[in-house]
Structure formats: C-alpha cells, structure tokens
C-alpha cells in the first residue's frame, strides 16, 4: 500500500473514531441526555425530549427526529425526513436531499431549512434564514415566521416536464423576505390568507389571496 493510501486510511479511521460514527445502525439519545454529536451512515437518529446535543446530527440513509424541548445543532440527512418536535432549538441548519421537513410549535431554527425532494411544514415555528426546496410544497401555519426568503430552486436538466407546487402562508404566518421561483418549468401557486403576509417580492408565481 502506498504512503498516500496509508495516510488516507489513517485519517478516515481517526475521523470515525473522533466523531463516534456508527455504521449500519441507528443512534438513540434517551430523554434528558447529552451528546457531543451523533453520526451514522445507514440508520436513523432519534433524540429524546429535553436533550442537549452540542454537535451536528448527521446520517446518510435514515430519518432524524428530535423530541420536545431539546437543543441541537445542524441536522443533516441525505435520504430521510427530519421531524422536529415542540419547543426545540436548532442552532444551525436543517437539511435533507430526499425527504420532508416538519417543525412543531415553538421550535426555532437559527439557520436555514432545505430539501430537494420533499415538503416543508412549519407549525407555529420560526426559521431565521431561507426556506429552500426544489420539488416539494411549503406550508406555514399558526403564526410561523421565515426570516429570509422562500426559494424554489432550478431543477436544471434533471427533469423535463412541467411540475406544480403549492406554497401556503396561513394562520397569521409571515415571510419577512420574498418568494423566489427560479425554475421556469415549475408552476407555483402561493396561497396567502388574509391574516398572513409576505413582506418582500413574489417572483414567478401565481398569488392567490384567501
């Protein structure tokens, strides 16, 4: 084995050891426990109520679930949903590629929220930065707030047919920024209830006021 390969293998082993990475199994944190971070490859990450996680929670193939009243940092998965309970603080971003994201009442995300293939739902929750999706509906309910923009990204040349998405801003919810549809092949309908608002510009979307 060459010196470079030996060094790469050693670095990979050190990374796995230092990050406490699990392979082919889920990670669980019981109610009230604390962790410096949770990482796995093929498995879910389930965090109980009232927990403290001082590092990121990352998986490749699996969901991420956070119990009520917990405090966590970045939440990341590739193939899986992210479900955040009530009164949770996320000190970072919440991101998935193939999966939905849902945030319960009283929860706050200090960064942004994003997915490629999946819906995003905020239920009396706050996202300080942008909410981003490519293929998925977005719904803000019960006085939810987005501090940045809602962005529908361009699919590029991956898909050819025209698709339709719905964005619903209801129940006294507010988008402090705008709504930016960047894909010309995506038809977006924005439903805004009479007690809700989008402060910024709505671009390339049909607006329906209810």
The whole-angstrom separation of Cα 67 and Cα 106 is: 12
Phi, psi angles (nearest 5°) of residue 170: -145, 170
Residue 15, pLDDT > 90, answer no
- pLDDT of 202 > 70? The answer is yes
Question: Computed over its alpha carbons, how large is the radius of gyration of the chain?
Answer: 19
Sequential DSSP letters for 67-89: -TT-EE--EE-SBS-EEE-TT-E
15 or 36, higher pLDDT = 36
Residue 139 pLDDT > 90, yes or no?
A: yes
Does the reported pTM lie above 0.95? no
Shortest CA distance to 28 belongs to which of 61, 57, 60, 69? 57
* Residues 6+ away with beta carbon under 8 Å from 143: 124, 171, 172, 173, 174
């Amino acid at each position: 084995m060459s010196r470079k390969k030996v060094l790469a293998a050693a670095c990979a082993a050190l990374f796995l050891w230092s990050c406490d990475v699990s392979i082919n199994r889920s990670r669980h944190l019981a109610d009230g426990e604390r962790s410096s971070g949770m990482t796995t490859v093929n498995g879910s990450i389930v965090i109980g109520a009232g927990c403290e996680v001082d590092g990121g929670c990352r998986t490749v193939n699996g969901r991420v679930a956070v119990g009520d009243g917990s405090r966590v940092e970045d939440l990341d998965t590739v193939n899986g949903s992210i479900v955040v309970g009530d009164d949770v603080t996320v000190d970072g971003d919440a991101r998935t590629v193939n999966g939905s994201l849902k945030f319960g009442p009283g929860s706050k995300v200090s960064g942004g929220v994003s997915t490629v293939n999946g819906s995003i739902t905020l239920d009396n929750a706050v996202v300080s930065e942008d909410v981003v999706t490519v293929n998925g509906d977005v719904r803000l309910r019960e006085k939810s707030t987005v501090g940045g923009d809602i962005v529908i990204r361009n699919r590029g040349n991956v898909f050819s047919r025209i698709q339709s998405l719905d964005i619903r801003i209801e129940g006294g919810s507010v988008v402090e920024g705008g709504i930016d549809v960047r894909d010309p092949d995506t038809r977006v309908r924005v439903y805004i209830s009479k007690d809700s608002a989008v402060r910024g510009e709505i671009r390339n979307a049909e607006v329906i006021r209810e």
